[in-house]
Structure 1
Amino acid sequence: MNNLASIARSLDTFSKFVGRYVSWLALFMVLAEFSIVLGRYIFGFGSIAFQETVIYSHGLLFMLGAAYTLQKGGHVRVDIFYAKAGPKQRALIDMLGSLFLLIPVSIIILLASWTYISGSWRILEGSVESSGLPYVYLLKSVIVVFCGMMILQGISTILHAILVLREEETMPCNEMPTEL
């Protein structure tokens, strides 16, 4: 296995590791929401902090699972050209899309959100509710992680595309057979 393939596989492994563990938040959210409803309507008990835990989990699930979803080809794409293209054309589309759209947009999001995140850290922002969670600044910090993971997965996509164009792989990375 050459260096490009090795780097791409390492980046894919990282996205897969994070994605698989973060996916458990979906089950947690269902169980937590069920508990909230049960507590409120059966036992007359409510908790703002527990409700906010579901919101935090939802944010974490989507922000930290986005790179894994990208790796598996789960994001929506316009298939006008892609559906009829062969492996090399798809690789080229993936490479150009990552290079000129995904990575620049991730960098713009990172730069645009920096003051938002740093301001939140400066005041150690918490919930607007008095009994809510005091960790809003940590949740906002996930934006940085999201951007970093998307950039890394974009690099992996570019590397896989190069390998397809060199005929060292047979199909783009987001179409490779996967196991979950």
Structure 2
Amino acid sequence: MSALLRLSRLIDALNEFVGRHLAWLVLAMVLISATNAVARKVFAASSNAFLEIQWYLFAAVFLLAAGYTLLRQEHVRIDVVLGRFTRRTQVVVESVCILLFLMPFGFLVIDLVLPLVVKAYETQEMSSNAGGLIRWPVYALVPAGFSLLMLQGISELIKRIAFLRGQAPDPGRRGKDKSDEEELAAFLREQAEGAKK
């Protein structure tokens, strides 16, 4: 089990690295969008390439951060029924759902999309818009994102099995006692107190 937990930590580190660095793509999206808006309004000039790169960057953030979101336990959950069970039962249900839903769905998506990525690469498929971008890189984000998500699913499954065996802490804990809003409020209070001194 210790080797599997080491593998889980490696997968967690990979998705943590990817998730933290994707924030820069959000900044790039905002800057490109603002530049494009200014160019269109002030200079009456626009580019389909600028519009498409925004879409590509959004797709990259959305798809590649899915594993990071699962790692941080920030994905959408509906705990109306599950919340009534013991934590141990919840972990069993989560493990079964990873095995029966997440993994098969991920394999299916990758299996269906990979031939499209290869075909787009081989034909160098371009956007139909004038001045548009090449398509295969954005197509490739789908299998890449689902691969990261499935890897994180493996990590989460390992952590849940270790928890059930009493060899690891509860994997469902977010690792912090305060919500994001509470952390922001505490930070702002500290800043205000620091400014008074």
What is the TM-score normalised by the length of structure 1?
0.90
Deviation at 1:166, TM superposition (A): 0.9
In structure 2, do the counterparts of structure 1 residues 105 and 22 end up closer, same or farther at CA, with 3 Å as the change threshold?
same
Q: Which residue of structure 2 aligns with residue 66 of structure 1?
A: 66
Structure 1: which 5+ runs fail to align? none
Distance 2:76 2:126 in 1: 34
Matching residue of 1:151: 150
Higher-Rg member (1/2): 2
Contact 1:87 1:170 in 2 (8 A): no
The 10-residue stretch of structure 1 (111-120 or 57-66) with the greater mean CA deviation from structure 2: 111-120
Whole-angstrom distance in 2 between the partners of 1:90 and 1:21: 32
For 2:168, the equivalent position in structure 1 comes to 169
- Check if 1:140 corresponds to 2:130: no
What is the alpha-carbon distance in structure 2 between the residues aligned to residue 5 and residue 81 of structure 1?
A: 30
1:45 correspondence with 2:35: no
Deviation sequence 1:123-166 (CA, Å, 0-9, x none): 111111231112x1111011121221111111001001011101
What is the identity, as a one-letter code, of the residue corresponding to 1:150? L
Runs of 4+ with >4 A deviation: none
Q: Per the alignment, in what secondary structure is the counterpart of residue 107 of structure 1?
A: helix
Q: Equivalents in 2 of 1:30, 1:93: separation in Å? A: 40
Among the aligned pairs, what percent are the same residue?
A: 27
- Tell me which residue corresponds to 2:118: 118
Distance in 1 between residues matched to 2:13 and 2:112, nearest whole Å: 29
Q: Please report how far the alpha carbon of residue 177 of structure 1 lies from its aligned counterpart in structure 2 after TM superposition.
A: 0.6
What is the CA–CA distance in structure 2 between the aligned matches of 1:11 and 1:84, rounded to whole Å? 31
Tell me the CA shift for residue 122 of structure 1: 2.1
Residue number in structure 2 paired with 1:21: 21
The TM-score, its normalising length taken from structure 2, stands at 0.83
The 1-side partners of 2:168 and 2:85 are apart by: 16
Query: How well do the aligned residues superpose, as a CA RMSD in angstroms?
Result: 2.0
Q: Which amino acid aligns with 2:174?
A: M
C-alpha contact (below 8 Å) 1:82/1:90 kept by paired residues: yes
Structure 1 window deviating more from structure 2 (42-51 vs 102-111): it is 42-51
Structure 2: state its 5+ residue gaps.
181-197
Counterpart CA distance in 1 for 2:101 and 2:145 is: 16
96-105 vs 74-83, which deviates more? 74-83
**Partners of 2:121 and 2:132 in 1: how far apart?**
17
Q: Which residue of 2 aligns with 1:84?
A: 84
- Whole-Å Cα distance in 2 between the matches of residues 116 and 38 of structure 1? 36
TM-fit CA distance, 1:26 = 1.5
Moved more, 80-89 or 103-112: 80-89
Q: Give 3-state SS (helix, strand or coil) of 2:132's partner.
A: coil
Partner AA of 2:8 in structure 1: A
Q: 1:24 to 1:83 in 2, by over 3 A?
A: farther
* SS of match in other structure, 1:155: helix
Match in the other structure for 2:105: 105
1:176 corresponds to which letter in structure 2?
A: R
Aligned residues: 178
